[in-house]
Amino acid sequence: MDFDFHPPKKAVSSHRRSTPSIRIWLLLVLVTLLFVPLFLRHSVTSTEANMAAPEVPQPPPIPEIRKEIIKGTVAQGDTMTALLGEFFTAAEIHELNRQCKPIFPLTRLSAGQAYRLCLSDDVFERFEYDIDRNEQLIISRDAENFSIEKIPIPYTTKTVRVSGIIESSLFEAVTSTGESDVLAMNLADIFAWDIDFILDIRKGDSFQVLVEKRYREGQPAGYGRILAAEFTNQGASFQAILYQDGDHRPDYYDADGQSLRKAFLKAPLAFSRISSGFTTRRFHPITKTWKSHPAIDYAASTGTPIKSVGDGVIIKKGYTRANGNYIKIRHNSSYETIYLHMNGFAKKIANGKRVAQGQTIGYVGSTGLATGPHLCFRMKKNGAPVNPTRVKAPAVKPVSSANMADFKSKATTLIAQLTDQKTIKTASAKSAINNSSK
């Protein structure tokens, strides 16, 4: 029988295995002899190289966990179910919504915000959502529990000095240095109370600014705070130093510690009552239609003097069928106020005339579409209606005497950095959310 001539299969295979295993062993020893000195020469601290000696048996390879990060942007109408529905049951999503509520309600997810979904072998591990430029929501899950937290977005920041001379506008001057117009807007905001960036700007005006640039995972991520700035307008210099006075919110002060932010008058007149508040929707008693009322109506008797709530320039004195006699004042490059239904104008009030805070510009009446004597008062910031009662924050106080010495020493350092042509300070620091400028 042929069978008997075949050696047992076990014997054959073990024999065949033994020869290559010796060869592999020898090869490993050879490789080790060749490479270990290389590793040692390459890096003295590389202990892993020594550990790789063949005497130590290699542990069985750990099955590789497939990590995946999906980056996306929240789309219009996206809910948690839309975003994470494939990983969780409806009950789990419900539970997630409940747990998120006190930290960041998931109903506030907004379109256009970035998120990152981290998966581990296709299983949910972590969800990161950018709430705004400063904070992110982190949802992670271990075993059965969600862990939810709101943390500052980790940025590294670098402080740079940017300077320029105006040819035509601040925007042009800033963008010609290679910076974004966002920096121009932020700069104009800081000096908005002293300089009208539309009317006051002249060729040859100049600026210098110390601004933080943010980086996220090595990529540029916009501007952080403006730490200090100087603007020279028609020969007059204005300085701004960012400072946090005790537990107040950080604000801008001049070199003497006076606040740059000035308040509007609380109201443009002595009024008896507010007859209609600021709303985006109201029933108009005369036109009998629903329309927004982005204004405050002050009921007052005919002839009550109306005052400009701030320094400014009259950009419109006129009459329309709806507004009656009205005046529009530009206070700075951001703010305008409008006064409607006047009985008449004050003397010397004309287009292009400068007015001071508290100056009488006209008198209460009921011209135009008005049911009775009142002042309809409107305020716009950058062209959009804003609620004047919200804007009229009290003037920021000067730096407190307790912190004045600290302020002065910080201001001196910042102004030196600001004005030193050579200085381009580069510092790296984690930004904190509570002191970022918006």
Angle at 84 between CA 78 and CA 87, to 5 degrees: 160
**CB closest to Zn ion, residue no:** 376
Is residue 260 within 8 Å of 291, Cβ to Cβ? no
Q: Which is nearer to Zn ion, 129 or 339 (CB)?
A: 339
Q: What are the CA-CA distances from residue 127 to residues 146, 242, 282, 430 (Å)?
A: 11, 35, 41, 22
Identity of the residue, 376 or 418, whose beta carbon is nearer to Zn ion in the bound complex? 376
Q: How far is the CB of 374 from Zn ion (least distance, A)?
A: 7
Q: How far is the CB of 265 from Zn ion (least distance, A)?
A: 18
Q: Please state the closest distance from residue 350 (CB atom) to Zn ion, in A.
A: 24
Q: For Zn ion, which is the closer residue by CB, 141 or 293?
A: 293
Residue 117 or 295: the one with the smaller Cβ distance to Zn ion is 295
Q: Which is nearer to Zn ion, 225 or 341 (CB)?
A: 341
C-beta of 360: minimal distance to Zn ion in Å? Answer: 20
| Shortest Cβ 286–Zn ion spacing (Å) | 11
Cβ-based nearer residue to Zn ion, 115 or 278: 278
| Minimum CB distance to Zn ion, residue 375 (Å) | 8
Q: State the minimum distance, in angstroms, from the CB of residue 314 to Zn ion.
A: 20
Per-residue three-class SS string for the chain: CHHHHCCCHHHHHHHHHHHHHHHHHHHHHHHHHHHHHHHHHHCCCCHHHHHCCCCCCCCCCCCCCCEEEEEEECCCCCCHHHHHCCCCCHHHHHHHHHHHCCCCCHHHCCCCCEEEEEEECCEEEEEEEECCCCEEEEEEEECCEEEEEEEECCCEEEEEEEEEECCCCHHHHHHCCCCCHHHHHHHHHHCCCCCCCCCCCCCCCEEEEEEEEEEECCEEEEEEEEEEEEEEECCEEEEEEEECCCCCCCEEECCCCCECCCCCCCCCCCCCEEEECCEEEEECCCCCCEEEECCEEEECCCCCEEECCCCEEEEEEEEECCCEEEEEEECCCCEEEEEEEEEEECCCCCCCCEECCCCEEEEEECCCCCCCCEEEEEEEECCEEECHHHHCCCCCCCCCHHHHHHHHHHHHHHHHHHHCCCCCCCCCEECCHHHCCC
Q: How far is the CB of 326 from Zn ion (least distance, A)?
A: 11
Nearer Cβ to Zn ion (188/296)? 296
Distance from first CA to last CA of the chain, Å, rounded? 94
Q: Which residues sit at the interface with Zn ion, rule CB under 5 A?
A: 295, 297, 376
CB of 122 to Zn ion, least distance (A): 59
Least spacing, CB of residue 321 vs Zn ion, in Å: 15
Given a contact cutoff of 8 angstroms between Cβ atoms, the answer to whether 315 and 360 are in contact is no
Nearer to Zn ion, 312 or 388 (CB): 388
- Cβ distance to Zn ion smaller for residue 196 or 297: 297
Nearer to Zn ion, 389 or 417 (CB): 389
